[in-house]
Structure 1
């Protein structure tokens, strides 16, 4: 028997008098509603129910299968973002007759940039492709990225999915959706400039800063640190230092971070190190493209210290 459902009040009723496809007045509110064959009507309901059930099961499975984060969580604090914390470093630059412009907000760890950077850097072998995809998408003005996880081992796929969801929870993405059957993560990019800068290489600066803070705090003495320091030399040459730390009783440590090509900049860094009068062992070039062996080889060739993500902490341990 034909049947209709009122779109206004939701009333459902059989109607033997009205032909299928025609409209009948709702028996409750009088609104005209289309009459359907009962079999067709039930089939459409079953399809919608099945679709909703699949989506719900996919969400439940993603929650159950995703492993909890095991990475260390940096302390949420803004104690470094103060003029007083930067005072010693500012005095050192002044003594070198160098004007230094330091933004305290660049080392404010009360947000989630440092946490995200630590997870990316410590698992770069797995997450490096994600970073490259995001950076490429931003540079090409794409609004989204799809990650096909089916080709990855199950454990790695779960880790990537968990990272994407955590980053979404901390607003690094505007939207996150995981299609369980196809194992596809769909990400809508965040348009905020700070997020774009983070994925375009800023994450590596945050990673270097966090590693420096781990060792500086561990030595039990005072220190002054900064990120993104603009320095102006007496001849008005302008440079930007990615990460700088001045441990109490020691010369500064400078880390230049390169998430892309760095070879053409070697001569620039050689001149910059000499102008800052920093020992080669305390002027580091951190590159994501270097292996441990390559970093050691380049350090032997030039008056600079090249480090990889795997050797950064070891090198800092020797300095601090």
Structure 2
């Protein structure tokens, strides 16, 4: 993954303690591969057993980086995706009023981590999209509570959407635009934690980088100013709580918006002064040329 992408997309699990290098250790590691897959298959089967599901969710989410081809296994095994969706739907009643416990949040986030695995894999990404699975996550992004269980839920849900947009694919962007992901991302950009804001801004950035995404946002003044006002408010708040990573994504959004002639004209009036007066130059280490693309074109 590129340096510009939030590190959360790389997968939260620590690397496996398997032996490094060749020789006998390497041979032993190779011999363990069939055993790993056998254990992955058993855990996937356990997902369909209500008594065993919680442990299977935990173990699979922790080990998803070391199980090769886990995504196709999850997608193609009977009843598995239905079991994961069952986990997601089961906590809908706890969203409003907001009574989600930490334990319930952790459990559903383990299910979401497995869906992120499916969303990331080239063989399962588009079937995952065609099945409209991301829509099951939208109620989580529509929550307002700032308690830790809800923040963790929003962040993990954004991770699934982020995995979809990480690979440039117009079909993915078209689906997300039709399902109105932008207002949900804008909400998180306004009220989420720094990490949630960063992932949500990354998603908006990737949507804008696709031509249909840029056209969509710039099609009406209302859409443009909805995005522009949130970006502007974020810049102002960053003056008090700096985040170089978040600021970089915000500036990339502005630079991409400037590729649209009408939006570029509008940016002359709504670009925050802090991006023009040198407030962030030290923390960001960007050249004036970047901002001048917006301010002088």
Q: TM-score, normalised on structure 2?
A: 0.26
- State TM-score, norm by structure 1: 0.25
For the pair shown, which has the larger CA radius of gyration, 1 or 2?
1
